Chain A
Amino acid sequence: MSLLQEVWQAVKAIGTGMATVHKRVYEEAPTEFYPYVKPDLPPVSVQSLALVENEDGSERCIVCLQCERACPAQVITIERHRNPEGKGFLIDRFDIDLVNCMYCAACVEACPVSSIVTIQDFEMSTYDLRTLRADIDFLHEQARNSRQWYSPKFGVEIRTEDGRIEKAPPEMQPGGLAEILKPAEEVDS
């Protein structure tokens, strides 16, 4: 290759590079404005845990201790006593150490009544780690503050404007459920 060809190739490469750079100026930046705009998370995103109550405020949890047994990090502590009037158990203590929790959601999979669920609130940052040793009131509060939550048994559930708890429509469900259900509905109609 002659010297002139080399020079021409260098000039051409620099020109191509500068043209590419100039095109970038007009492209939209993919920046997310997180603190001001919350990101649109997928329905199944294990950001934090919550304990759901029924619509009438009664406990959904039946205190079967399945989550305590399933927890690989052993951060769930439950104490219970027998219900004196009727069957079942009542909760004395329900603590989750959210500092040592690794958010594997094994407790959510184990729960037979979808009481313990995953929620989308990921803003758990705090100046005091003791605030993350969650007791039952904190877990109830987490559920009350969230508009939707997920458990494998019931899928995505939403809290409507008037405080009722409903199963979310198929569009909000994970795993392309809407696409699976669509042909069946068409066949029915």
Chain B
Amino acid sequence: MSQIPIPEDRHFRPRLFGYDPQKSRPWLERAVYSAYVFVFWLLVITTYAGVPALFGALGWDSGWGFVFMRALQVVLLFLLSAVLALLLILVLRKYLGKVQERFGPMHYGPAGGIQTIFDALKLLAKEDFVPAAADVLTFRLAPAVTFVASFAMFAVIPFASGWVLADTNVGLVYLIAVSTLSTYGVLLGGVSSGNKWALIGALRAGAQMVSYEIPLALVFLTVAVWSGTLSLSGIVDAQLGLWNFLPLALPFVLYVIASLAELKHIPFDFPEAESELIAGYNVEYSGMSFAFFFLAEFVELFLLPALIVVFFFGGWHGPLFGLEPGSLAAGALESLYFTLKTAVWVWIFLWIRATLPRYRDDQLMEFAWKAMIPLALFGLVLAAYMRLIWR
């Protein structure tokens, strides 16, 4: 018997791309995150100050020019939400890895910093598959509905004083309307997939929405009563002296719980419970359709903490170091304060996600109807009473 030669690559070593995994370098991770946040911040400045300044200089800030300016801003916001999703997925994976005593992604880029870009490229290259049992039109429509409904919330988010796409006086009502719509995308996607797990996930999403939307709306109402306005910029302006989380402590806690449910986030991730429903409503989706569901989820993971900051933590307020309010530098600093406050709240949401187990959906419904709605009503009455007495 003659021996067949051993191939050369028997001792195969994957490439490391310049990263030494044995060395723990937390500063490198922080530098990567800071770079993403810096890109995000630059995009915010370009969207809300750069583009209007450019169009103003060209004299195109009325009529069709104004429409084109808004369209350009929306395109920039789409870019911004893509950067946001890349950053948040990376941070989520690294943070969950740390909590579970392992490393997250670490092979591509410094400290795994461009892993999510490769993930996005993979999703782009993947086949967008439609199951035979699916209702094609609805199946195609659902990711778009989900993403657009989440993305539309950007319109009323004030990043700094005056840095908002549509400073309407009914911002809160708009928010309730739009945030409820994203559940329709989930419902449509789940029902049209022709899959049992997707159907159950969609029905759970519907049942969940019926429970948490009412306390959420009541908390919005409480904030509106306390601030005396429905405009988000007005709410932030009203918190100049005292941030709302102190007088409105009870609605604040209820809002955090309800926004966890709206995010479909642990402990309330019933529509996509991995261990029960595989991935729930998006189980049949692949390629870019799946990516849009994902994008919507992570845009909401930014927007709901951003709303916490707007409603309860003084929005963009912070020390301005003598800068003239309304100038570009002041606006940039204010948007940085807003971004950092939001980052802290995103981290708290991830912390909750890393800690808590999943509840049952009937437990959430019982909690929402028997505890949260009465407490939200009590908070509303209390806020109205305090408003009468002290203001």
Chain A interface residues toward B at CB < 8 A:
14, 17-18, 21-22, 24-25, 27-31, 33, 35-37, 93, 95, 123, 125-128, 130-131, 133-135, 137-138
Chain B 76-135 residues near chain A, CB threshold 8 A: 95, 97-103
Query: Interface of B with A (CB < 8 Å)?
Result: 1-7, 10-14, 16, 21-22, 24, 95, 97-103, 351-352, 354-356
In this complex, what residue of B is CB-closest to A21? Answer: B355
Known: A22-B351, A36-B13. A29 touches B4 (CB 8 A): no
What is the CB-to-nearest-CB distance from B314 to chain A, in angstroms, rounded to a whole number? 24
Partner of A25, one of B3, B4, B22, B98: B98
Q: Is the CB of A133 within 8 A of B3?
A: yes
On chain B, the residues within 8 Å of A127 by CB distance are 7
What residues on A are CB-neighbors of B2 within 8 Å? 135
Specify which of B1, B100, B102 lies most central, judged by the most chain A CB atoms within 10 Å of its CB.
Answer: B1
Whether A21 pairs with B101 at a CB distance below 8 angstroms is: no
Contacting residues, chain A, for B7 (C-beta < 8 A):
126-128, 131
In the bound complex, do residue B3 and residue A134 qualify as a contact, i.e. CB atoms below 8 Å apart? yes
A131 & B1 in contact (Cβ 8 Å cutoff):
no
In the complex, the answer to whether A36 meets B21 with C-beta atoms within 8 Å is: yes
| With known contacts A18-B351, A22-B351, A24-B99, A133–B16 Cβ distance under 8 A | no
Q: A29-B102, A134-B3 are in contact. List 14 more A-B contacts (CB 8 A).
A: A17-B355, A22-B351, A24-B100, A25-B95, A28-B24, A28-B101, A29-B98, A29-B103, A30-B101, A125-B10, A126-B10, A128-B7, A131-B7, A135-B2
Residues of chain A within 8 A (CB-CB) of B4 are 128, 130-131, 133
Q: Closest residue of chain B to A22, judged by CB?
A: B351
Q: How far is the CA of A127 from the CA of B102 in the complex (A)?
A: 30
> What are 19 A-to-B residue pairs whose CB atoms are below 8 Å?
A17-B355, A17-B356, A18-B352, A21-B99, A24-B99, A27-B101, A29-B97, A29-B101, A29-B102, A30-B101, A33-B22, A35-B13, A36-B16, A37-B22, A93-B1, A128-B7, A133-B3, A137-B3, A138-B3
Of all chain B residues, the one with the shortest Cβ separation from A19 is B355
Question: With A93-B1, A135-B2 in contact, is A123–B11 under 8 Å at CB?
Answer: yes
Please give the distance in Å from B334's CB to the nearest CB on chain A: 30
Chain B residue contacts of A30, Cβ below 8 A:
101
Q: Which residues of A contact B95 (CB under 8 A)?
A: 25
Inter-chain contacts of A22 with B (CB < 8 A): 351
Say yes or no: B3 contacts A21, CB within 8 Å.
no
Query: Which of A31, A126, A135 has a CB less than 8 Å from the CB of B1?
Result: A135
- Give complex CA distance A25, B4 in Å: 49
Q: Are B6 and A126 in contact, CB atoms less than 8 angstroms apart?
A: yes
